Structure 1
């Protein structure tokens, strides 16, 4: 944000932080330093999260929402759909959306 102001030939002066005066060299340096630190921290978080996902995958964990319907319920829904029951009725009986029924019975 401060960079946009400076790039537009404006000046930034914080009333609360005396070091954040964009008209001085130190004031122009601080946003660059803080931005660099934020980039490094973001990279560390991204790397750590990726490693955590990889470890979870090795342990057999999945990183998605739990299924609302069990395999047995999906099989039963397919049978009931084949017998002519409507998607809306099936969705109500299992407490899921019609889209979930379509996916389960496809």
Structure 2
């Protein structure tokens, strides 16, 4: 039996396109979910892995829909193999564990993909460090300006933190942090 698995990462996306491709490929059952691949809790993936039987073939539109790291891909691939099933990717024809060459190639390419991901993370980290060195500030802008903080100090002499926060339109914790600095 051909079994499909579709996944999208954000709530703004949907699996309709993947599901259509998997149905066109002949999948008689399709498991789909809207959850980050980085999440360890993927209920539909778990249902699919529990559902597969010997001789089944899992079809995905792309490998990144199934796994986000080499370890994850290899673990999922091992569970599929332990069930006596195979794995095929529509976008990566070399990723076909129903053949010995496909098993070997999948392992090599998964390692290369993980290596590439590591390089991207290193470049991103280096870029962030360089930006910080140039004085770029990350995160949301401060809730209060220096003038508002000075005003909060004055108000605090006669008013409670809750009253000051209400007057400035911020949470009490913001006032506590601002006055602490």
TM-score in terms of structure 1 length = 0.75
Give the SS at the match of 1:14.
Answer: strand
Q: 2: distance between equivalents of 1:56 and 1:79?
A: 36
Map 1:12-91 to 2 at 5 A. Answer: 12-14=86-88, 16=90, 19-83=94-158, 85-91=159-165
Q: Deviations over 1:22-72 (max 9, x none)?
A: 232122123313321221221121111122112212222222321111122
Tell me the distance in 1 between the aligned counterparts of 2:84 and 2:156.
66
SS in 1 for 2:141: coil
Offset of residue 91 of structure 1: 2.0
Count of aligned pairs between the two proteins: 104
Higher strand share: 2
Q: Which has the larger radius of gyration?
A: 1
**Distance of 1:13 and 1:52 partners within structure 2:** 37
Shift of 1:15: 8.2
Report the aligned-residue RMSD: 2.4
- CA distance, structure 1, for counterparts of residue 132 and residue 139 of structure 2: 11
**1:93 Cα deviation after fit:** 2.4
- TM-score, length-normalised on structure 2? 0.48
Gaps of 5+ in 1: none
